Structure 1
Amino acid sequence: MPARDLALLTEAARSAGAIALRYWRQAPKVWEKPGQGPVTEADLAVNDHLRGLLRGARPDYGWLSEEDADSPARLGQDRLFVLDPIDGTRAFIAGEETFAVSLAVVRQGQPMAGVVYLPALDRLYTASAGGVALKDGQPIRASGQLGIEGATLLTTAAAMAPEHWPGGVPDLKRSFRASLAYRLCLVAEGRHDGMLTLRDAWEWDIAAGALIAAVAGAQVTDRTGAVLEFNRPHPQAAGVIAAAPGLHGALLARLGHGG
Protein backbone atom coordinates (compact mmCIF):
# COMPACT_ATOMS: atom_id res chain seq x y z
CA MET A 1 0.00 0.00 0.00
CA PRO A 2 2.78 2.58 0.69
CA ALA A 3 4.06 2.06 -2.87
CA ARG A 4 0.62 2.64 -4.37
CA ASP A 5 0.09 5.68 -2.19
CA LEU A 6 3.52 7.04 -3.08
CA ALA A 7 2.74 6.73 -6.79
CA LEU A 8 -0.54 8.59 -6.25
CA LEU A 9 1.13 11.34 -4.22
CA THR A 10 3.84 11.75 -6.87
CA GLU A 11 1.29 12.16 -9.64
CA ALA A 12 -0.72 14.56 -7.50
CA ALA A 13 2.30 16.68 -6.56
CA ARG A 14 3.40 17.16 -10.15
CA SER A 15 -0.06 18.15 -11.35
CA ALA A 16 -0.51 20.46 -8.35
CA GLY A 17 2.84 22.07 -9.10
CA ALA A 18 1.73 22.86 -12.63
CA ILE A 19 -1.27 24.72 -11.22
CA ALA A 20 0.89 26.65 -8.75
CA LEU A 21 3.19 27.78 -11.53
CA ARG A 22 0.29 29.41 -13.37
CA TYR A 23 0.06 31.90 -10.50
CA TRP A 24 3.75 32.18 -9.62
CA ARG A 25 5.21 35.61 -10.40
CA GLN A 26 1.77 36.66 -11.71
CA ALA A 27 0.80 38.84 -8.71
CA PRO A 28 -1.77 36.42 -7.25
CA LYS A 29 -4.41 37.67 -4.86
CA VAL A 30 -3.25 37.45 -1.23
CA TRP A 31 -5.16 37.34 2.08
CA GLU A 32 -4.03 37.11 5.69
CA LYS A 33 -5.21 34.15 7.76
CA PRO A 34 -5.39 35.15 11.44
CA GLY A 35 -2.52 33.55 13.31
CA GLN A 36 -1.24 31.62 10.28
CA GLY A 37 0.13 34.18 7.84
CA PRO A 38 -0.68 34.77 4.18
CA VAL A 39 -2.68 32.63 1.78
CA THR A 40 -3.03 33.19 -1.95
CA GLU A 41 -5.51 32.23 -4.62
CA ALA A 42 -2.88 29.73 -5.78
CA ASP A 43 -2.97 27.91 -2.41
CA LEU A 44 -6.73 27.52 -2.76
CA ALA A 45 -6.63 26.43 -6.40
CA VAL A 46 -3.98 23.81 -5.66
CA ASN A 47 -5.89 22.61 -2.62
CA ASP A 48 -9.11 22.22 -4.63
CA HIS A 49 -7.26 20.19 -7.25
CA LEU A 50 -5.62 17.94 -4.67
CA ARG A 51 -8.85 17.37 -2.78
CA GLY A 52 -10.59 16.21 -5.92
CA LEU A 53 -7.74 14.00 -7.08
CA LEU A 54 -6.70 12.41 -3.79
CA ARG A 55 -10.09 11.95 -2.19
CA GLY A 56 -11.45 10.69 -5.47
CA ALA A 57 -8.74 8.03 -5.54
CA ARG A 58 -8.93 7.12 -1.82
CA PRO A 59 -12.42 8.05 -0.56
CA ASP A 60 -11.91 6.05 2.65
CA TYR A 61 -8.87 8.13 3.71
CA GLY A 62 -9.17 11.02 6.14
CA TRP A 63 -8.14 14.56 5.24
CA LEU A 64 -6.00 17.19 6.93
CA SER A 65 -5.02 20.18 4.80
CA GLU A 66 -3.87 23.64 5.76
CA GLU A 67 -6.48 25.13 3.46
CA ASP A 68 -9.55 23.21 4.64
CA ALA A 69 -11.51 23.35 7.86
CA ASP A 70 -10.44 20.53 10.15
CA SER A 71 -12.88 17.79 11.07
CA PRO A 72 -12.68 15.40 14.04
CA ALA A 73 -13.83 12.65 11.67
CA ARG A 74 -10.19 12.16 10.62
CA LEU A 75 -9.29 10.93 14.12
CA GLY A 76 -11.26 7.73 13.61
CA GLN A 77 -9.77 6.87 10.23
CA ASP A 78 -6.90 4.42 9.82
CA ARG A 79 -5.25 6.39 7.02
CA LEU A 80 -5.38 10.03 6.04
CA PHE A 81 -3.85 12.54 3.70
CA VAL A 82 -1.86 15.29 5.42
CA LEU A 83 -0.90 18.11 3.09
CA ASP A 84 0.14 21.66 2.52
CA PRO A 85 -0.78 22.77 -1.01
CA ILE A 86 1.96 25.43 -0.99
CA ASP A 87 4.49 25.33 1.83
CA GLY A 88 6.55 28.50 1.89
CA THR A 89 3.75 30.82 0.78
CA ARG A 90 5.83 33.90 1.58
CA ALA A 91 8.54 32.66 -0.77
CA PHE A 92 5.88 31.98 -3.41
CA ILE A 93 4.51 35.51 -3.08
CA ALA A 94 8.01 36.96 -3.34
CA GLY A 95 8.61 35.07 -6.59
CA GLU A 96 11.27 32.84 -5.05
CA GLU A 97 11.84 29.29 -6.25
CA THR A 98 11.86 27.41 -2.94
CA PHE A 99 8.16 26.90 -2.25
CA ALA A 100 6.93 23.31 -2.15
CA VAL A 101 3.92 21.04 -2.43
CA SER A 102 3.99 18.74 0.63
CA LEU A 103 1.89 15.55 0.59
CA ALA A 104 1.83 12.59 2.99
CA VAL A 105 -0.23 9.56 3.84
CA VAL A 106 -0.32 8.89 7.57
CA ARG A 107 -1.39 5.58 9.10
CA GLN A 108 -1.97 5.13 12.83
CA GLY A 109 0.01 8.24 13.68
CA GLN A 110 3.03 7.71 11.40
CA PRO A 111 3.77 8.80 7.82
CA MET A 112 3.80 5.88 5.37
CA ALA A 113 4.42 7.79 2.13
CA GLY A 114 5.65 11.32 1.53
CA VAL A 115 6.34 13.60 -1.40
CA VAL A 116 7.81 17.10 -1.40
CA TYR A 117 7.85 18.76 -4.82
CA LEU A 118 9.38 22.13 -5.70
CA PRO A 119 7.58 23.13 -8.92
CA ALA A 120 9.78 26.11 -9.83
CA LEU A 121 12.87 23.88 -9.65
CA ASP A 122 11.15 20.70 -10.87
CA ARG A 123 12.74 18.97 -7.88
CA LEU A 124 11.03 15.91 -6.38
CA TYR A 125 11.74 14.23 -3.04
CA THR A 126 9.98 10.97 -2.18
CA ALA A 127 10.04 8.23 0.45
CA SER A 128 7.93 5.42 1.82
CA ALA A 129 8.20 3.70 5.17
CA GLY A 130 10.62 0.81 4.87
CA GLY A 131 11.80 2.04 1.48
CA VAL A 132 14.46 4.48 0.29
CA ALA A 133 14.52 8.27 0.13
CA LEU A 134 14.95 9.68 -3.35
CA LYS A 135 15.63 13.04 -4.97
CA ASP A 136 14.60 13.05 -8.62
CA GLY A 137 14.76 9.26 -8.57
CA GLN A 138 18.25 9.01 -7.05
CA PRO A 139 18.94 7.76 -3.51
CA ILE A 140 19.83 10.40 -0.93
CA ARG A 141 21.40 10.15 2.50
CA ALA A 142 21.72 12.43 5.51
CA SER A 143 25.18 13.72 6.36
CA GLY A 144 27.68 11.97 8.59
CA GLN A 145 28.35 15.10 10.67
CA LEU A 146 29.67 14.34 14.16
CA GLY A 147 29.08 17.03 16.77
CA ILE A 148 28.43 20.74 16.43
CA GLU A 149 31.82 21.99 15.22
CA GLY A 150 31.60 22.78 11.52
CA ALA A 151 27.90 21.86 11.29
CA THR A 152 25.39 23.62 9.04
CA LEU A 153 21.91 24.23 10.43
CA LEU A 154 18.72 25.45 8.78
CA THR A 155 16.78 27.61 11.21
CA THR A 156 15.61 31.15 11.87
CA ALA A 157 17.82 33.79 13.47
CA ALA A 158 15.31 34.03 16.32
CA ALA A 159 15.81 30.34 17.16
CA MET A 160 19.47 31.03 17.91
CA ALA A 161 18.72 33.53 20.69
CA PRO A 162 20.63 32.69 23.91
CA GLU A 163 17.47 32.16 25.98
CA HIS A 164 16.72 29.01 23.97
CA TRP A 165 20.09 27.42 24.64
CA PRO A 166 20.80 26.82 28.34
CA GLY A 167 23.77 24.68 27.32
CA GLY A 168 25.25 27.49 25.26
CA VAL A 169 24.43 28.78 21.79
CA PRO A 170 26.07 26.41 19.30
CA ASP A 171 28.73 27.89 17.05
CA LEU A 172 27.70 26.69 13.61
CA LYS A 173 26.78 27.96 10.16
CA ARG A 174 23.11 29.01 9.97
CA SER A 175 21.00 29.14 6.81
CA PHE A 176 17.28 29.49 6.17
CA ARG A 177 14.58 28.44 3.71
CA ALA A 178 10.95 29.50 4.02
CA SER A 179 9.49 26.02 3.49
CA LEU A 180 9.74 23.66 6.45
CA ALA A 181 9.18 20.72 4.12
CA TYR A 182 12.12 21.79 1.98
CA ARG A 183 14.35 22.28 5.03
CA LEU A 184 13.67 18.68 6.04
CA CYS A 185 14.51 17.48 2.53
CA LEU A 186 17.78 19.43 2.49
CA VAL A 187 18.75 17.51 5.62
CA ALA A 188 17.66 14.27 3.96
CA GLU A 189 20.02 14.83 1.04
CA GLY A 190 22.90 15.90 3.26
CA ARG A 191 23.19 19.42 1.86
CA HIS A 192 22.74 20.65 5.43
CA ASP A 193 23.58 18.73 8.58
CA GLY A 194 20.41 19.64 10.43
CA MET A 195 17.33 21.82 10.75
CA LEU A 196 15.31 22.92 13.71
CA THR A 197 12.24 24.92 14.48
CA LEU A 198 11.51 25.65 18.12
CA ARG A 199 8.03 26.96 17.37
CA ASP A 200 5.13 24.52 17.28
CA ALA A 201 4.89 23.08 13.76
CA TRP A 202 1.71 22.21 11.89
CA GLU A 203 1.52 18.58 10.83
CA TRP A 204 0.85 19.48 7.20
CA ASP A 205 4.18 21.31 7.02
CA ILE A 206 6.29 18.44 8.33
CA ALA A 207 4.63 15.04 7.76
CA ALA A 208 6.12 14.36 4.31
CA GLY A 209 9.52 15.92 5.00
CA ALA A 210 9.92 14.19 8.35
CA LEU A 211 9.44 10.81 6.69
CA ILE A 212 11.85 11.62 3.86
CA ALA A 213 14.51 12.80 6.32
CA ALA A 214 14.07 9.78 8.60
CA VAL A 215 14.22 7.27 5.74
CA ALA A 216 17.39 9.05 4.53
CA GLY A 217 19.02 8.34 7.89
CA ALA A 218 18.46 11.57 9.79
CA GLN A 219 17.22 11.52 13.36
CA VAL A 220 13.88 13.35 13.53
CA THR A 221 12.10 14.35 16.76
CA ASP A 222 10.26 17.25 18.31
CA ARG A 223 12.30 19.94 20.07
CA THR A 224 12.42 17.90 23.30
CA GLY A 225 13.64 14.71 21.63
CA ALA A 226 10.24 12.97 21.62
CA VAL A 227 9.02 10.93 18.65
CA LEU A 228 6.78 12.85 16.27
CA GLU A 229 3.19 11.64 16.11
CA PHE A 230 0.63 12.68 13.53
CA ASN A 231 -3.16 12.88 13.29
CA ARG A 232 -3.40 14.44 16.74
CA PRO A 233 -6.60 16.19 17.82
CA HIS A 234 -4.67 19.47 17.68
CA PRO A 235 -2.41 18.89 14.65
CA GLN A 236 0.79 20.50 15.84
CA ALA A 237 4.14 19.12 16.97
CA ALA A 238 6.28 20.71 19.70
CA GLY A 239 8.82 21.94 17.19
CA VAL A 240 11.09 19.77 15.06
CA ILE A 241 14.74 18.78 15.08
CA ALA A 242 16.02 16.77 12.12
CA ALA A 243 19.74 16.20 11.96
CA ALA A 244 22.53 13.79 11.26
CA PRO A 245 22.55 11.24 14.11
CA GLY A 246 25.95 12.53 15.23
CA LEU A 247 24.60 16.07 15.54
CA HIS A 248 21.07 15.54 16.84
CA GLY A 249 22.04 14.59 20.38
CA ALA A 250 24.48 17.49 20.66
CA LEU A 251 21.74 19.96 19.68
CA LEU A 252 19.35 18.43 22.21
CA ALA A 253 21.98 18.70 24.93
CA ARG A 254 22.56 22.38 24.22
CA LEU A 255 18.80 22.94 24.31
CA GLY A 256 18.70 21.37 27.77
CA HIS A 257 17.06 18.10 26.73
CA GLY A 258 20.06 15.81 26.62
CA GLY A 259 19.77 12.40 28.23
Structure 2
Amino acid sequence: MDEKARKDLVESLLPVVRAAGAAILAHRRTPLPFRFKNDASPVTVADLESEAIIRRTCAGLFPAIRLVSEEDASSYEAGIPSTCLLVDPLDGTKEFISGREDFTVNIALIENGAPSAGIIFAPALDRMFFTSGSGKLVVMDHEDTREILGGVVADQRAQPLILTSRSHLDPHTAEVVKHLQSTNVRQVGSSLKFALIAAGEADLYLRLAPTMVWDSAAGQALIEAAGGVVLRPDGIRLPYLAEMKNEGFVAACTISLAERVLMLIRSLRNTGPPD
Protein backbone atom coordinates (compact mmCIF):
# COMPACT_ATOMS: atom_id res chain seq x y z
CA MET A 1 0.00 0.00 0.00
CA ASP A 2 1.45 3.40 -0.92
CA GLU A 3 1.61 6.37 1.43
CA LYS A 4 -1.52 8.06 0.11
CA ALA A 5 -3.61 4.88 0.36
CA ARG A 6 -2.37 4.33 3.89
CA LYS A 7 -3.23 7.90 4.87
CA ASP A 8 -6.71 7.56 3.36
CA LEU A 9 -7.24 4.30 5.25
CA VAL A 10 -6.30 5.88 8.58
CA GLU A 11 -8.48 8.93 7.99
CA SER A 12 -11.41 6.63 7.15
CA LEU A 13 -10.84 4.70 10.37
CA LEU A 14 -10.84 7.70 12.73
CA PRO A 15 -14.65 8.10 12.87
CA VAL A 16 -14.99 4.31 13.18
CA VAL A 17 -12.75 4.29 16.24
CA ARG A 18 -14.66 7.23 17.72
CA ALA A 19 -17.96 5.40 17.21
CA ALA A 20 -16.53 2.33 18.94
CA GLY A 21 -15.34 4.52 21.81
CA ALA A 22 -18.77 6.10 22.15
CA ALA A 23 -20.36 2.66 22.37
CA ILE A 24 -17.94 1.74 25.16
CA LEU A 25 -18.62 4.94 27.08
CA ALA A 26 -22.37 4.31 26.91
CA HIS A 27 -21.82 1.40 29.32
CA ARG A 28 -19.42 3.17 31.64
CA ARG A 29 -21.85 4.45 34.26
CA THR A 30 -23.95 1.32 34.65
CA PRO A 31 -23.12 -1.97 36.39
CA LEU A 32 -21.66 -4.18 33.69
CA PRO A 33 -21.70 -7.97 33.86
CA PHE A 34 -18.70 -9.73 32.40
CA ARG A 35 -17.43 -13.22 31.78
CA PHE A 36 -13.96 -14.71 31.62
CA LYS A 37 -12.50 -16.05 28.41
CA ASN A 38 -10.31 -19.15 28.16
CA ASP A 39 -7.21 -17.09 28.88
CA ALA A 40 -8.83 -15.77 32.12
CA SER A 41 -9.18 -12.25 30.73
CA PRO A 42 -12.57 -10.55 31.15
CA VAL A 43 -14.90 -9.57 28.30
CA THR A 44 -17.97 -7.35 28.51
CA VAL A 45 -20.81 -6.30 26.24
CA ALA A 46 -18.82 -3.09 25.66
CA ASP A 47 -15.95 -5.13 24.15
CA LEU A 48 -18.40 -6.94 21.88
CA GLU A 49 -20.29 -3.83 20.76
CA SER A 50 -17.03 -2.06 19.92
CA GLU A 51 -15.89 -5.13 18.00
CA ALA A 52 -19.18 -5.28 16.05
CA ILE A 53 -18.98 -1.60 15.04
CA ILE A 54 -15.39 -1.92 13.84
CA ARG A 55 -15.93 -5.20 12.00
CA ARG A 56 -19.16 -4.12 10.29
CA THR A 57 -17.78 -0.76 9.15
CA CYS A 58 -14.40 -2.08 8.02
CA ALA A 59 -16.10 -4.81 5.98
CA GLY A 60 -17.82 -2.06 4.00
CA LEU A 61 -14.82 0.28 3.77
CA PHE A 62 -12.03 -2.25 3.15
CA PRO A 63 -13.54 -5.52 1.90
CA ALA A 64 -10.20 -6.74 0.56
CA ILE A 65 -8.35 -6.38 3.89
CA ARG A 66 -8.79 -9.14 6.43
CA LEU A 67 -9.65 -8.01 9.96
CA VAL A 68 -8.09 -9.89 12.88
CA SER A 69 -9.67 -9.05 16.22
CA GLU A 70 -9.22 -10.18 19.80
CA GLU A 71 -12.92 -10.88 20.28
CA ASP A 72 -13.35 -13.03 17.16
CA ALA A 73 -11.35 -16.23 17.58
CA SER A 74 -12.23 -17.39 14.07
CA SER A 75 -10.35 -14.40 12.65
CA TYR A 76 -6.98 -15.67 13.85
CA GLU A 77 -7.31 -19.45 13.79
CA ALA A 78 -4.82 -19.53 10.92
CA GLY A 79 -2.51 -16.90 12.43
CA ILE A 80 -1.83 -13.39 11.15
CA PRO A 81 -1.90 -12.78 7.39
CA SER A 82 0.93 -10.66 6.01
CA THR A 83 -1.54 -7.81 5.41
CA CYS A 84 -4.45 -7.21 7.77
CA LEU A 85 -6.12 -4.85 10.21
CA LEU A 86 -5.25 -5.95 13.73
CA VAL A 87 -7.86 -4.83 16.27
CA ASP A 88 -8.31 -4.71 20.02
CA PRO A 89 -11.81 -3.26 20.41
CA LEU A 90 -11.36 -2.56 24.13
CA ASP A 91 -7.84 -2.76 25.51
CA GLY A 92 -7.75 -2.47 29.29
CA THR A 93 -11.04 -4.20 30.04
CA LYS A 94 -10.02 -4.61 33.68
CA GLU A 95 -9.48 -0.84 33.95
CA PHE A 96 -12.82 -0.23 32.26
CA ILE A 97 -14.66 -2.55 34.65
CA SER A 98 -13.02 -0.90 37.67
CA GLY A 99 -14.13 2.56 36.54
CA ARG A 100 -10.73 3.90 35.50
CA GLU A 101 -10.05 6.02 32.41
CA ASP A 102 -6.97 4.28 30.99
CA PHE A 103 -8.63 1.97 28.46
CA THR A 104 -8.32 2.24 24.68
CA VAL A 105 -9.47 1.16 21.24
CA ASN A 106 -6.59 -0.05 19.04
CA ILE A 107 -6.34 -0.60 15.29
CA ALA A 108 -3.11 -1.33 13.41
CA LEU A 109 -2.45 -1.91 9.74
CA ILE A 110 -0.05 -4.82 9.32
CA GLU A 111 1.90 -5.02 6.06
CA ASN A 112 4.58 -7.61 5.36
CA GLY A 113 4.63 -8.67 8.99
CA ALA A 114 5.10 -5.20 10.48
CA PRO A 115 2.80 -2.40 11.72
CA SER A 116 2.77 0.35 9.08
CA ALA A 117 -0.01 2.51 10.56
CA GLY A 118 -1.87 2.66 13.83
CA ILE A 119 -4.58 4.33 15.88
CA ILE A 120 -5.04 4.39 19.65
CA PHE A 121 -8.10 6.15 21.07
CA ALA A 122 -8.68 6.68 24.79
CA PRO A 123 -12.41 7.54 24.79
CA ALA A 124 -12.71 8.45 28.48
CA LEU A 125 -9.85 10.94 28.05
CA ASP A 126 -10.90 12.02 24.54
CA ARG A 127 -7.33 11.52 23.31
CA MET A 128 -6.62 10.16 19.84
CA PHE A 129 -3.13 9.16 18.66
CA PHE A 130 -2.56 8.05 15.07
CA THR A 131 -0.02 7.66 12.30
CA SER A 132 -0.12 6.57 8.69
CA GLY A 133 3.51 5.54 8.92
CA SER A 134 4.98 8.57 7.19
CA GLY A 135 7.31 9.48 10.06
CA LYS A 136 4.64 11.65 11.64
CA LEU A 137 2.43 11.13 14.67
CA VAL A 138 -0.76 13.12 15.24
CA VAL A 139 -2.13 13.69 18.73
CA MET A 140 -5.67 15.01 19.15
CA ASP A 141 -6.62 16.23 22.63
CA HIS A 142 -10.25 17.31 22.64
CA GLU A 143 -10.20 20.19 20.13
CA ASP A 144 -6.40 20.58 20.01
CA THR A 145 -4.26 18.81 17.41
CA ARG A 146 -0.47 18.60 17.27
CA GLU A 147 2.00 16.76 15.09
CA ILE A 148 5.20 15.02 16.17
CA LEU A 149 7.81 14.36 13.52
CA GLY A 150 9.91 11.21 13.73
CA GLY A 151 13.07 11.69 15.77
CA VAL A 152 11.73 14.58 17.84
CA VAL A 153 10.88 12.50 20.92
CA ALA A 154 13.95 12.00 23.12
CA ASP A 155 14.72 10.91 26.66
CA GLN A 156 15.60 14.33 28.07
CA ARG A 157 14.37 13.80 31.63
CA ALA A 158 17.01 13.45 34.35
CA GLN A 159 15.43 10.06 35.08
CA PRO A 160 13.39 8.32 32.40
CA LEU A 161 9.68 8.12 33.12
CA ILE A 162 9.01 4.37 33.18
CA LEU A 163 5.50 3.06 32.60
CA THR A 164 4.43 -0.33 33.92
CA SER A 165 1.27 -2.33 33.52
CA ARG A 166 -1.42 -1.74 36.12
CA SER A 167 -2.94 -5.22 35.77
CA HIS A 168 -0.16 -7.41 34.32
CA LEU A 169 3.14 -6.58 36.05
CA ASP A 170 5.09 -9.85 35.98
CA PRO A 171 8.00 -10.59 38.38
CA HIS A 172 10.69 -10.48 35.67
CA THR A 173 9.61 -7.04 34.48
CA ALA A 174 9.36 -5.80 38.07
CA GLU A 175 12.92 -6.99 38.73
CA VAL A 176 14.30 -5.12 35.72
CA VAL A 177 12.41 -1.94 36.65
CA LYS A 178 13.83 -2.17 40.18
CA HIS A 179 17.39 -2.40 38.84
CA LEU A 180 16.90 0.61 36.60
CA GLN A 181 16.82 2.51 39.92
CA SER A 182 14.41 5.16 38.72
CA THR A 183 12.14 6.96 41.15
CA ASN A 184 10.05 8.01 38.15
CA VAL A 185 7.72 5.02 37.68
CA ARG A 186 4.01 5.17 36.92
CA GLN A 187 1.34 2.49 36.49
CA VAL A 188 -0.89 2.87 33.43
CA GLY A 189 -3.38 0.46 31.90
CA SER A 190 -3.84 -0.60 28.27
CA SER A 191 -1.95 0.52 25.15
CA LEU A 192 -2.10 4.07 26.45
CA LYS A 193 1.47 3.44 27.65
CA PHE A 194 2.70 3.25 24.05
CA ALA A 195 0.79 6.39 23.10
CA LEU A 196 2.25 8.40 25.98
CA ILE A 197 5.78 7.44 24.96
CA ALA A 198 5.08 8.34 21.32
CA ALA A 199 3.68 11.71 22.41
CA GLY A 200 6.79 12.50 24.48
CA GLU A 201 4.98 12.20 27.81
CA ALA A 202 6.93 9.13 28.99
CA ASP A 203 10.12 7.33 28.00
CA LEU A 204 10.01 3.60 28.59
CA TYR A 205 7.60 0.67 28.81
CA LEU A 206 8.82 -2.87 29.13
CA ARG A 207 6.87 -6.10 29.32
CA LEU A 208 8.89 -9.29 29.68
CA ALA A 209 5.98 -11.72 29.75
CA PRO A 210 4.01 -12.98 26.75
CA THR A 211 1.50 -10.58 25.19
CA MET A 212 -0.91 -10.85 22.29
CA VAL A 213 -0.17 -9.11 19.01
CA TRP A 214 -3.19 -6.77 19.24
CA ASP A 215 -1.83 -5.44 22.54
CA SER A 216 1.25 -3.93 20.90
CA ALA A 217 0.80 -3.44 17.13
CA ALA A 218 -0.90 -0.02 17.08
CA GLY A 219 1.36 1.27 19.83
CA GLN A 220 4.45 0.09 17.99
CA ALA A 221 3.36 1.99 14.87
CA LEU A 222 2.97 5.16 16.95
CA ILE A 223 6.30 4.89 18.74
CA GLU A 224 8.21 4.14 15.55
CA ALA A 225 6.57 7.10 13.78
CA ALA A 226 7.78 9.34 16.62
CA GLY A 227 11.36 8.07 16.36
CA GLY A 228 11.30 5.43 19.09
CA VAL A 229 11.66 1.64 18.98
CA VAL A 230 9.83 -1.49 20.12
CA LEU A 231 12.25 -4.40 20.39
CA ARG A 232 12.20 -7.98 21.56
CA PRO A 233 14.50 -8.83 24.49
CA ASP A 234 17.04 -10.11 21.92
CA GLY A 235 17.14 -6.65 20.31
CA ILE A 236 15.13 -7.54 17.18
CA ARG A 237 12.25 -5.31 16.08
CA LEU A 238 9.02 -6.84 17.37
CA PRO A 239 7.57 -8.85 14.42
CA TYR A 240 4.01 -9.71 13.39
CA LEU A 241 4.21 -12.90 11.42
CA ALA A 242 2.26 -16.10 12.08
CA GLU A 243 2.34 -16.19 15.89
CA MET A 244 -0.42 -14.58 17.93
CA LYS A 245 1.83 -14.11 20.97
CA ASN A 246 5.16 -12.41 21.43
CA GLU A 247 7.51 -13.15 24.30
CA GLY A 248 7.84 -9.59 25.55
CA PHE A 249 9.34 -6.30 24.43
CA VAL A 250 11.05 -3.06 25.34
CA ALA A 251 9.30 0.08 24.05
CA ALA A 252 11.47 3.18 24.32
CA CYS A 253 11.55 6.72 23.01
CA THR A 254 15.12 6.26 21.71
CA ILE A 255 17.31 3.39 20.60
CA SER A 256 19.96 4.40 23.15
CA LEU A 257 17.53 4.02 26.05
CA ALA A 258 16.30 0.68 24.67
CA GLU A 259 19.88 -0.62 24.34
CA ARG A 260 20.62 0.35 27.93
CA VAL A 261 17.60 -1.61 29.13
CA LEU A 262 18.38 -4.61 26.91
CA MET A 263 21.90 -4.72 28.33
CA LEU A 264 20.47 -4.84 31.85
CA ILE A 265 18.01 -7.59 30.86
CA ARG A 266 20.84 -9.69 29.43
CA SER A 267 22.96 -9.11 32.53
CA LEU A 268 20.19 -10.19 34.89
CA ARG A 269 19.42 -13.27 32.80
CA ASN A 270 23.05 -14.33 32.61
CA THR A 271 24.24 -13.59 36.14
CA GLY A 272 21.14 -13.03 38.23
CA PRO A 273 20.51 -9.84 40.23
CA PRO A 274 23.71 -8.06 41.26
CA ASP A 275 24.64 -7.86 44.96
**TM exceeding 0.5:** yes
Residue 241 of structure 1 aligns to a residue in which SS? strand
| Counterpart in the other structure of 1:244 | 253
**Identity over aligned residues, as a percent?**
29
Alignment of 1:214-233 (within 5 A): 214-230=224-240, 232-233=241-242
Shift of the 160–200 alpha-carbon distance from structure 1 to 2, 3 Å rule, reads: closer
- 1:81 maps to which residue? 85
Q: Hey, what's the Cα distance between the residues in 2 that align with 1:72 and 1:90? A: 25
Whether 1:178 and 2:186 are equivalent positions in the alignment is no
Q: 1:128 maps to which residue? A: 132
Residues 173, 208 of structure 2: 8 Å contact kept: no
Q: Secondary structure at the match of 1:224?
A: coil
| Contact 2:153-2:226 at 8 Å conserved across structures | no
Indicate how the Cα distance of structure 1 residues 71 and 102 shifts in structure 2: closer, same or farther if over 3 A, else same.
closer
Partner residue of 1:92 out of 92, 96, 113? 96
Query: Alpha carbons of 1:257 and 1:187: their partners in 2 closer, same or farther (altered >3 Å)?
Result: farther
Quickly say closer, same or farther: Cα 1:17–1:201, change in 2 above 3 A.
same
Aligned to 2:160: 151
Paired with 1:65 and 1:208, the residues of 2 have a C-alpha distance of: 13
The answer to whether the 8 A contact 2:79-2:242 is kept is no
1:30–1:40: 8 Å Cα contact kept in structure 2?
yes
Change (3 A) 1:14 1:161: closer
Runs of at least 5 residues in structure 2 that lack an aligned partner in the other structure? 269-275
The aligned counterpart of 2:272 is none
Instruction: Give the Å deviation of 1:151.
Output: 1.4
Q: CA RMSD in A?
A: 2.2
Equivalent-residue separation in structure 1 for 2:201 and 2:156 (angstroms) = 15
Corresponding residue for residue 67 of structure 1:
71
Indicate whether 1:113 and 2:117 are aligned: yes
1:18 maps to what in 2?
Answer: 22
**What is the CA distance between 1:209 and its match in structure 2?**
0.8
The answer for unaligned runs of 5 or more in structure 1 is none
Q: How many correspondences in the alignment?
A: 251
Cα distance in 2, alignment partners of residues 186 and 159 from structure 1: 23
Shift of 1:150: 1.2
| Structure 1 residue 159 displacement after superposition | 4.3
- Once the 2 structures are TM-superposed, how far is the Cα of residue 2 of structure 1 from its aligned partner? 0.8
Superposed displacement of residue 170, structure 1? 1.0
In 2: Cα distance, 1:249 partner to 1:95 partner: 36
Match of 1:4 among 1, 4, 8: 8
Correspondences of 1:207-218 after superposition (within 5 Å): 207-218=217-228
Matched, 1:253 2:257: no
Asked if 2 retains the 8 angstrom alpha-carbon contact of 1:143 and 1:191, the reply is no
**Cα separation, 2, equivalents of 1:222 and 1:193:** 17
Q: TM-score, normalised by structure 1?
A: 0.89
**1:79/1:257 CA distance change after superposition, 3 Å:** farther
SS in 1 for 2:118: strand
CA deviation string 1:26-82 (max 9, x = no partner): 11221111224111110011101111001221111112111001345665x552110
Partner amino acid, structure 2, of 1:99: F
TM-score with structure 2 setting the length:
0.84
The one-letter amino acid of 1:123's match is R
Q: 2:258 is matched by which residue type in structure 1?
A: H
